[in-house]
Structure 1
Amino acid sequence: MEKYQDFTVQDWIWDDAFRAWVLTPTTETNEIWHKWLRQNPDKWANVREAIATIKALNADEPLLTESEMSDFMKQMAAKLEGATTTHSPFLDVAPSERIRPFYRNRALQIAAVLVVLIFASPFFMRKISTNTEGVSPKTDVTQKAVSEGFIETFNNADTPQVITLSDGSVVTLKKDSKLRYTSPFKGQNRVVYLSGEAIFDVAKIRQFHFSLRKWAVDKVLGTSFVVKAHKIEQQVTVEVRTGKVSVFNQKDLTEGNEKTTLEPRGLVLTPNQKIVFDKQIDRMTKTLVAAPTMVLEPKELEKLNFNFDDTPANIVFETLRKAYSINIIYDESVLKNCPVTAPLNEGTLFEKLDIICKAIEARFDVLDGQIVIQSKGC
């Protein structure tokens, strides 16, 4: 990814990998680009402009058909060649000099293409204007302005839709989901409304709060989280990938004063933690995501050794805590004399915990977003 450090807007627009991510994002490419953007916040301005340009150029609207383009080119060729052979008081051509047709002159070919594009633009605009409402056949994404300066985007496509907000935050909107937001954000509060599911990669702006309807996300660095808030479902979930997120029930916030988002009833989430809000009983529960992932950078992970050979259990658990950024509670005095021998480079976190606990005759539970090891010793 080093080549992107010196990219201009034009470079971004024509980079194949970047264009593929913008136009046909996948879970894998989203993770790659979101991570790079979090690490390079100074590139946001150029990236935002490039994304907007790529989407504009790729709008799936009915352009000229082949026959229409052929007719138009013939008309333009006639006009241009007629203009070339017309006597001009500033350029007198002798009768014996044969004027070379413009389509056989390389320089004029290029110029003609530019002229065609310029003259054709009203025709393209007329064609585009006939299909500006409803869902795009290619992306199935609609975007419209709504009341109070908000923009509303609805994704009905099978693939996620990437939306870049005015502050540089990136939202990956899943199928059958709707996002409402202002552009640009006003004041110090960045407020968006979500119905459905989306991945949020919030820009690093310390002095600004990023607020989601029914939830308030505290001002933190490098925050990436997933929200599932479908109207027809009884539960709303927030899963944190990186950074730290403070989650509050909207009714716990003082009306009209969003600075109260640090009230005691808020729950703080760290990587791999998850909040489940039950709308029916109005209760929030903190737990872990179904499949925790390692959150350390590759260089930091290389420093950790997962091939354990007669390693005290407390050191094994500390290694897992660092790799997954999940608090593991245990009695060090009990487990320091329990050796573990096992290669744990592969498998999920819970599979690794099963192996360890069987080896030391212990068990683990997930409580309040933490892992608790219960053992009577070896």
Structure 2
Amino acid sequence: MFTAADFIPKTYSSTIESGTFEWSAPSNIALVKYWGKKDNQIPANPSVSFTLKNCKTITKLSFEIKDASTPLSMTDSFSFDLLFEGKPKEEFKPKIRKFLERIEAYLPFLKDYHFTIDTHNTFPHSSGIASSASGMAALAMNFMSLEKKLNPEMTDEYFYQKASFLARLGSGSACRSVKGNVVVWGSQENIEGSSDLFGVEFPHTIHENFHNYQDTILLVDKGEKQVSSTVGHDLMHNHPFAETRFAHAHKNLDKLIVIFESGNVEEFIKVVESEALTLHAMMMTSMPYFILMKPNTLQIINAIWKFRAETKTPVCFTLDAGANVHVLYPGNVSKKVLQFIKNELVGFCQNGQYICDEIGAGSQLIIDN
């Protein structure tokens, strides 16, 4: 297993003056939630997520080496243009610059090039789906493609683990968007290879019941959250229930090892819904306390519980740090659940909007030129 020091390159064996890469990276939905972190984007507890397929960021990275005509003021600084959906997006640049500062020690060539970063999402921006995970993962994959050109001897294992490591420094959950289908981030005694530094593919058996899991995302509120996830994570530092919560996450991850192997969807539902509500309970009991769920979030949850009790259909919900509801269910009940969503849940969505997604395979290379 690699350490942070292993990701600091000593020398490069090749050179490259210009080129273009393009990668897609998906969003992911945590089943065991990560909430609370230490310095350098280290999680306070482990998490596990389904990698999604359709909700993704596609990022093209063009680069050219700075030459003698480059102004002296730019030779020792990061130089990049940022386009979102084909148009300059100046307000995104500070976040990218901060990311570059965090990863420069691990990619020492960053100040040698001028980059053009052209990015877009397959889901509507401001749709209430966090795009930082998919966005930072896609950017990390592109930077790693460039480093692989400089170091062609690089192994695939090193490539993907370092990409996940770098993505984490941009957005914690981004480290779970590099690979698929089920990814663990954070050290867990019973999961070999698990690490606080990067995400790893879940190494245990996954029953066929979970192979084609669906995630329909109900867009309850597309507005900006009153409290950012960064602030929410920080509020765990002095939280009265923090240590109990972190221990609880470890226990739930151990439960999922057994559940994934046995295919027990009923027990899966208990863990996943409990985790979602515990995440929001932490928000409601922090100081200052806050609530990100909306009235329609609760309406949807109650409707799902009622439908499940009446029909015995194995459908459940989970939540991110926001008001939107992820409806999770096996592929073999898709028709029944989608009809239920259209009949009873769409009315609780902003402008009737929802997105159909499913388990996916992780980041994909589109252009290597």
TM over 0.5: no
The normalised TM-score by structure 1 is 0.28
Q: Write 1 or 2 for the structure with the bigger share of helix.
A: 2
Which structure's CA Rg is the greater one?
Answer: 1
Higher relative contact order (CA 8 A, sep 6+): 2
